Structure 1
Amino acid sequence: MHSWCDTDKEEFEERGMTSTYLIMDNVSVVRMFLLSGLNETNDYRVTLLIFILLYYCMILFFNISIIMIIILDQNLHEPMYILLCSFCMNGLYGTTGFYPKFLLDLFSSSQQISYEWCLLQAFVMYSFACCEVSILAVMAYDRYLAICRPLHYQSVMTKRKVSQLICFSWFTPFCILTINILLTSRLKLCGVKIDRLFCVNWAIVKLACYESDTFSNNITAYFTIIIYFSHGLFIIWTYMHLIRTCVKSKNERVKFMQTCVPHLASLFTFIVAVLFDLMHMRFGSTDLPQSLQNFIAMEILLLPPVMNPLVYGFKLTKIRNRILGCVFLQENYRH
């Protein structure tokens, strides 16, 4: 009795990938997965490779630039900028979990990934998304204190408090997602084909054999959704108070436009990307063109990592002045 679909096994055998499973006690144990998201890109794979490589370099440049500016400039060692630094680091973390493997897949004729690396990539993708929500929630809290409770801001947002909030925004998703991935790793799988460009936990769980108990996986998945949905409600609550405060004062409206608009832009972009991907994974039609399915899946890794450092870099006065200062200094040095 085999523990995976015969169609999946035949497809791997046709490609000469017999090492993708291991026979143990007459049961096939999955050792490799096939990512089928690139099946329709053979005609323009070189163009896609060049474009993705340049885009990934752009992501690295923008995010590392913001991080280094904040680290090196003592004037930017304030809670808002420290949280922004953490935000850009998370962008680097998530994109590094996807782009290097994706670039290798564009070089290869078959897009395989080992069982262990697939679980690791699923962990990185999900923890990246959850960290993004957590950091956005902490940034909303910071703006709420700065605008709605300015007299208490310095006493509340101490260095210790900021460190605790950053640890919360990273440590909590890591713990929750570790539980999710460990529960997935115990499942017996009856398939090896993942219809995506990268591994995600839900796609692996869908490959579980009929007799496998996925109840714990579903419970932890819904628990995770509830936790981060509550983060979203908290962000909405803070902005209700922010808007109520800002309409009363012209100075507060200026502060809101300077510091909160970038946060809202990041939040909106992220929510749209996540909702599209979640709706497609849960309820989406497989009849959609593969290129559109790929874009929906990649949207969270395409738009926020580039848009966030650009929006914050242009909108936040101190960072913009620091960037312009570096540019003018370079120009003066040349002359």
Structure 2
Amino acid sequence: MENVSAVTSFILTAYTELEDHRYLYFICFLVLYIMIIVANSVLITVIYIERGLHEPMYLFICSLAVNGVFGSTSLLPSMLVFLLSYNYEISLTHCLLQIYCLYSYAFVEFTILAAMSYDRYVAICHPLHYHLLMSPKKLYAAITLSWAIPLIYFVLFFIMTFQLTFCGKIIEKVYCANFPLVKLSCVDTNVQYIVGLALTFISPLSQILMILFSYGQIIRICLFASKESQAKAIRTCTPHLLTVINFSVGVFFEAIQSRFNMSHVPYKARIFLSLHMGIFPPLLNPVIYGISNQAIKNQIFKLFNSKKDSEPHSR
């Protein structure tokens, strides 16, 4: 009888679909990763060095940028390695670590976006009490909890999945995901299935409700406000709404693919849709906030102009 505990690595078979143009995909994903790192690093640097940007909204944006680097680094470097290799095998430890990082990244992103929606709600609906409701102490507590809760929360999932034994080795993706991995187990996985379902659909519920509540109140206030106030509210909220929509689309693609039969969708299309969550939010968030926010835009120009001025002039 086969030793069921012998399976300690898995094969990511989706890479076989990318073999014909592996070098083209490698260059594309490498360029995307460099753009993500550079764009988010510039945003983090600008907010860090400019004390005038040490306000709740900008510190939340900075947290999004840090999380974007974390999420994309959990995904893209391993993809780049696999694209240059004909060995698509990943160890159990590496697989679990990737799942832990990607799920934590998604949870942190939703939590920060929920906190940002509350910040916008307070700024628009209770401007006179803004500095009291969003005091530095409360702000740092919100940012700390945004990171601590997901990172601790997913330790439970990590331990539960690590204790499983596996009979299969085939994961039809370019990265590890919880549900495809659990399906390879030799033992009863009802508990893991329920926990995974809760993590996927129930965990973000409080964040989603916070976002809906905040924007419901903002809309209610704007209905009775002047056109000038409405325009200002729209300018303030549009970047955040674009960020929420962009990330939610990626999460939706991944959740649907993991739980339901998507065989009617071309395999390559499913591969690229599954990458949306880890690539496009980290790539587009700095662009959205860098273009739409005049204060950030000014500081970026100031940063690069100061570097240019500090260079020795050629004779």
SS of 1:40's partner is: helix
2:193 — aligned with what? 218
Could you tell me whether the CA contact under 8 Å between 2:4 and 2:167 is conserved in 1? no
Q: Any residues of structure 2 matched to 1:78-97 within 5 Å, and which?
A: 78-97=55-74
Q: Deviation of residue 252 (structure 1)?
A: 2.8
Gaps of at least 5 residues in structure 1 are 3-25
Q: Any residues of structure 2 matched to 1:1-335 within 5 Å, and which?
A: 1-2=1-2, 26-209=3-186, 212-224=187-199, 225-247=201-223, 248-329=225-306
SS of 1:33's partner is: strand
Amino acid in structure 2 at the alignment position of 1:131: V
Amino acid in structure 2 at the alignment position of 1:242: I
Using the size of structure 1 for normalisation, the TM-score is 0.88
How many corresponding residue pairs?
310
Using the size of structure 2 for normalisation, the TM-score is 0.93
Could you tell me whether the CA contact under 8 Å between 2:4 and 2:166 is conserved in 1? no
SS of 1:97's partner is: helix
Gaps of at least 5 residues in structure 2 are none
Percent of aligned positions that are identical: 36
Q: Deviation of residue 330 (structure 1)?
A: 5.4
Q: Deviation of residue 50 (structure 1)?
A: 1.0
CA distance in 2, matches of 1:324, 1:246: 33
Mean Cα displacement is larger for which, 91-100 or 245-254?
245-254
Could you tell me whether the CA contact under 8 Å between 1:88 and 1:305 is conserved in 2? yes
1 or 2 for the larger relative contact order (CA 8 Å, sep ≥6)?
2
Could you tell me whether the CA contact under 8 Å between 2:4 and 2:165 is conserved in 1? no
Amino acid in structure 2 at the alignment position of 1:62: A
CA distance in 2, matches of 1:29, 1:250: 67
Q: Deviation of residue 286 (structure 1)?
A: 3.1
SS of 2:10's partner is: strand
CA root-mean-square deviation = 1.7
Q: Deviation of residue 49 (structure 1)?
A: 0.9
Q: Deviation of residue 264 (structure 1)?
A: 0.1
Amino acid in structure 1 at the alignment position of 2:221: T
Mean Cα displacement is larger for which, 76-85 or 290-299?
290-299
CA distance in 1, matches of 2:258, 2:118: 31
CA distance in 2, matches of 1:254, 1:330: 36
Could you tell me whether the CA contact under 8 Å between 2:46 and 2:303 is conserved in 1? no
Q: Deviation of residue 298 (structure 1)?
A: 0.2
Could you tell me whether the CA contact under 8 Å between 1:262 and 1:312 is conserved in 2? yes
Q: Deviation of residue 217 (structure 1)?
A: 1.4
SS of 2:61's partner is: helix
Could you tell me whether the CA contact under 8 Å between 1:181 and 1:201 is conserved in 2? no
Could you tell me whether the CA contact under 8 Å between 1:138 and 1:165 is conserved in 2? yes
CA distance in 2, matches of 1:92, 1:265: 19
CA distance in 2, matches of 1:196, 1:139: 32
User: Where does structure 1 differ by over 6 angstroms across 4 or more consecutive aligned residues?
Assistant: none
SS of 2:253's partner is: helix
